[in-house]
Amino acid sequence: MHYMPMFKNSLSISSGQETNWPARMNVLEGHNDSVWSLAYSPDGKHIVSGSFDKTICVWDAETGQVVTGPLKGHNDDVTSVAYSPDGKHIVSGSGDNTICVWDAETGQVATGPLKGHNDDVWSVAYSPDGKHIVSGSHDNTICVWDAETGQVVTGPLKGHNHSVYSVAYSPDGKHIISGSADDTICIWDAETGQVVTGPWKGHKHSVYSVAYSPDGRHIVSGSADDTICIWDAETGQMVTGPLKGHNHSVYSVAYSPDGEHIVSSSADDTICIWDAETGQVVAGPLKGHNGTVYSVAYSSDGNHIVSGSHDNTICVWDAETGQVVTGPLTGHNGTVHSVAYSPDGKHIVSGSDDNTICIWDAETGQVITGPLKGHNDDVMSVAYSPDGKHIVSGSLDKTICVWDAETGQVVTGPLKEHNYVVWSVAYSPDGKHIVSGSHDETICIWDAEMRQVVTGPLKGHNHSVYSVAYSPDGKHIVSGSGDNTICVWDAETGQVVTGPLKGHNDDVMSVAYSPDGKHIVSGSRDNTICVWDAETGQVVTGPLKGHNHSVYSVAYSPDGKHIVSGSGDKTICVWDAETGQVVTGPLTGHNGTVHSVAYSPDGKHIVSGSDDKTICVWNAETRQVVTGHNKEFNIVTSSLNYKHNVSCSSKNLSIPMVGKPTCDHQNHLLLTTTGPYCQHCTWGFPDNSTIHDGWISGPNSELIFWVPHRNRDALLMPTMIHKMGAPVPTKLNFDHFVQGDSWIKSRQNV
Q: Mean pLDDT check: name the lowest of 386-400, 449-463, 552-566.
A: 449-463
pLDDT reported for residue 309: 81
DSSP H or E stretch at residue 352: strand 347-352
From residue 369, give the alpha-carbon distance in Å to each of 301, 357, 360: 47, 9, 7
pLDDT reported for residue 613: 82
* Number of domains into which the chain is organized: 3
Assess whether pLDDT exceeds 90 at residue 405. Answer: yes
pLDDT reported for residue 394: 96
pLDDT digits (tens, 9 = 90+) for 585-623: 888 878 889 999 999 999 988 989 888 888 888 888 643
pLDDT: which is higher, 376 or 729: 376
Q: Across residues 304-312, what is the average pLDDT?
A: 81
514 and 636 in a common domain: no
Assess whether pLDDT exceeds 70 at residue 726. Answer: no
678 and 722 in a common domain: yes
Give dist(CA 185, CA 371) in Å, integer.
40
> What pLDDT band is residue 31 in, cutting at 50, 70 and 90?
confident
Q: Across residues 324-329, what is the average pLDDT?
A: 28
pLDDT reported for residue 216: 95
Residue 55 lies in a domain: yes
Q: How many Å separate Cα 620 from the centre of its chain?
A: 25
217 and 70 in a common domain: yes
123 and 65 in a common domain: yes
State the amino acid at position 612 in one-letter form: D
Q: Mean pLDDT check: name the lowest of 56-65, 183-192, 201-210, 672-681.
A: 672-681
665 and 529 in a common domain: no
pLDDT reported for residue 673: 31
441 and 296 in a common domain: no
Residue 371 lies in a domain: no
Q: Is 693 left (phi over 0), alpha (psi -120 to 50) or beta?
A: left
Assess whether pLDDT exceeds 60 at residue 492. Answer: yes
Could you tell me the strand order of the sheet in which 476-481 lies?
465-470, 476-481, 485-490, 496-502
711 and 575 in a common domain: no
pLDDT digits (tens, 9 = 90+) for 40-60: 899 988 989 999 899 999 988
Assess whether pLDDT exceeds 70 at residue 442. Answer: yes
Last residue of a domain, one of 548, 577, 606: 606
203 and 95 in a common domain: yes
Last residue of a domain, one of 295, 318, 341: 318
Last residue of a domain, one of 267, 294, 318: 318
3-class DSSP state of 1:
coil
Give dist(CA 620, CA 624) in Å, integer.
12
216 and 106 in a common domain: yes
Residue 201 lies in a domain: yes
| Percent of the chain surpassing pLDDT 70 | 77
238 and 196 in a common domain: yes
Residue 400 lies in a domain: yes
pLDDT digits (tens, 9 = 90+) for 455-479: 989 999 999 999 999 999 999 999 9
Q: Which of 85, 92, 86 is nearest to 48 (CA)?
A: 92
542 and 457 in a common domain: yes
309 and 266 in a common domain: yes
pLDDT reported for residue 733: 61
Residue 481 lies in a domain: yes
> What pLDDT band is residue 5 in, cutting at 50, 70 and 90?
low
DSSP H or E stretch at residue 709: helix 709-712
The tally of CA atoms less than 13 A away on the side-chain side of residue 226 is: 8
Q: Which of 479, 485, 473, 475 is nearest to 457 (CA)?
A: 479
Give dist(CA 530, CA 502) in Å, integer.
10
Q: Mean pLDDT check: name the lowest of 480-494, 541-555, 637-651.
A: 637-651
Range of the domain at 112: 23-318
pLDDT reported for residue 720: 46
Q: What is the CATH number of the domain that holds 279?
A: 2.130.10.10
Residue 96 lies in a domain: yes
Q: Give φ, ψ of 742 to 5 degrees.
A: -100, 15
Residue 440 lies in a domain: yes
Residue 134 lies in a domain: yes
Q: Across residues 71-98, what is the average pLDDT?
A: 95
Q: Across residues 499-522, what is the average pLDDT?
A: 96
pLDDT digits (tens, 9 = 90+) for 240-279: 989 999 999 999 999 999 999 999 999 999 999 999 999 9
Residues 6 or more apart whose Cβ sits within 8 Å of residue 719: 584, 587, 618, 619, 621, 687
